[in-house]
Amino acid sequence: MVSWRSLLSLLLLAAGAAGAVESNRIVLRVNDRIATLREYESRREERLGMILHDPGLGESERRQLVEEVGRATMKELFDELLILSRAQQLRIIVTRDQLARAMTSTRERYGLSSEAEFAAALAQSGLSIDLYRARLEKQLQWQEVIGREVQPRIKVDEEAVQRFYREHVEEFRLPERIELQELVVREQARPDAEALAALAAQIRDRLAAGEAIADVAASHAASGETSGLVELGWVQRGELDAALEGAAWALEPGEVSAPVPARGGLHILRVVAREPARVRPLQEVRERIEMIEENRQYEQEMKRYLAELTARAYVAENLPSDAVGYRELAPPAEVDLLAPIPRPEATPEPETPIP
């Protein structure tokens, strides 16, 4: 007769085996690449943690991302499997030396001097060295595929640059601005307001007569009567304290304001230079426009490329309920398996290991 203890042990073993089978259930297959429920759930929890602890997110945005976390995770997995399957077709191989160099480069980029420090830093993020190495290998394969098959499609020509400049010219308009210096006569420099005003007027007269503001500041700062020379730099309308705004913008280059009561004492302002409002010329913003246009084309070509791979792929799904509908989401600009790594240049020979 089987005792109740033996029966309970059998039931627990069966439940554990069933749980293991369920966690290893294949939820997505793309060609010869698969993703299991365990991998999906791990990625989902990792993504959810990042969303919940991101201080830059507003509540409505955070709520929306939480609602989409299942679909977004499955979309990331789907795109990753597409690209890694293509890497296999192209016979892209990451050698041990290449992977070791990439690991060392990552460690050094974060200022970690030893493998032990690297392992400890990864552990704080819930990662092991082995898991990070596996993700890094996938990231390198991903980048090589994109470098070969997407990057060559991106062509930022002169016509595109000039068209963007014409259509967004208001974005390159700079408002009027002044370069400003300041000297503060401290409240505690004199025992009463009248004596303080007299000292400030004396200092202002010296500046108006042409003495260098740095020299005047130095002569009074040692005794604590004034601040040192404060270089406020370039300012636009509305950026100053309301008490100082009117006085500053009434000045021409080289002129000095009357003492202005404000926080800390009496402020004396000097305008160094003044620039009228202007539109930045194309040559000043060309690099920025080229980067914007390259990113726009990259997102466009990436979406097209993933659609091409999807059309040729064998796809089988056994999705968790919260991942249903994942294909409706827009593709990411780049799957972030790790910290961002720059996209590589295209390489000519798909049969060889990556350089």
- The string of DSSP letters for 52-103 reads HT-TT--HHHHHHHHHTHHHHHHHHHHHHHHHHHHHHHTT----HHHHHHHH
Same structural domain, 194 and 117: no
Q: Which domain holds residue 140?
A: 20-154+291-328
Same structural domain, 50 and 150: yes
pLDDT at residue number 354: 41
pLDDT at residue number 24: 85
Over the stretch 168-199, which tens digit does the pLDDT of each residue have?
999 999 999 999 999 999 988 888 899 999 99
CATH number of the CATH domain containing 309: 1.10.4030.10
CA R_g for the chain: 32
Question: Do 257 and 201 contact (CB within 8 A), yes or no?
Answer: no
Whether 284 is in a domain gets the answer no
Same structural domain, 202 and 246: yes
Residue type, 47: R
- Calculate mean pLDDT across residues 249-261: 94
Comparing 110 with 354, which gets the higher pLDDT? 110
Report the distance separating Cα 41 and Cα 134, nearest Å.
Answer: 18
Question: Do 102 and 136 contact (CB within 8 A), yes or no?
Answer: yes
- Calculate mean pLDDT across residues 102-127: 88
Q: Helices then strands (H, E): number in the chain?
A: 12, 9
Same structural domain, 314 and 220: no
pLDDT at residue number 19: 52
- Confidence grade of residue 332 (pLDDT, cut at 50, 70, 90): low
Instruction: Mark which of 213, 246, 276 sits at the end of a domain.
Output: 276
- Calculate mean pLDDT across residues 146-155: 95
- Calculate mean pLDDT across residues 314-321: 95
State percent of the chain over pLDDT 90.
70
Task: Please count the structural domains in the chain.
Answer: 2
- Calculate mean pLDDT across residues 267-291: 95
Same structural domain, 186 and 271: yes
Over the stretch 58-67, which tens digit does the pLDDT of each residue have?
999 999 999 9
Over 70: is that where the pLDDT of 288 sits? yes
- Calculate mean pLDDT across residues 263-292: 95
Q: Output the average pLDDT for the chain.
A: 86
Quick count: other Cβ atoms within 10 Å of Cβ 269? 26
Same structural domain, 138 and 38: yes
Whether 69 is in a domain gets the answer yes
Least confident of 36-40, 226-230, 272-276, 342-346: 342-346
- Confidence grade of residue 20 (pLDDT, cut at 50, 70, 90): low
- Calculate mean pLDDT across residues 218-237: 91
For 299, residues 6+ apart whose C-beta sits below 8 A from its C-beta are 333
Residue type, 160: A
Of the CA atoms within 13 Å of residue 135, those in its CB half-sphere come to 18
Residue type, 285: V
Six token digits for residue 319 = 């999705």
Same structural domain, 34 and 144: yes
- Calculate mean pLDDT across residues 80-90: 96
Whether 6 is in a domain gets the answer no
Report the distance separating Cα 335 and Cα 77, nearest Å.
Answer: 9
Same structural domain, 65 and 150: yes
pLDDT at residue number 337: 44
Least confident of 69-73, 226-230, 307-311: 226-230
Question: Do 331 and 303 contact (CB within 8 A), yes or no?
Answer: yes
State percent of the chain over pLDDT 70.
86
Listed in order, strand segments (DSSP E) in 133-276 are 173-174, 177-186, 230-236, 260-262, 265-275
Q: What 3-state DSSP class applies to 292?
A: helix
Whether 285 is in a domain gets the answer no
Whether 168 is in a domain gets the answer no
- Confidence grade of residue 251 (pLDDT, cut at 50, 70, 90): very high
pLDDT at residue number 22: 63
Most confident of 140-149, 217-226, 341-350: 140-149
Same structural domain, 95 and 182: no
Same structural domain, 218 and 308: no
CATH number of the CATH domain containing 223: 3.10.50.40
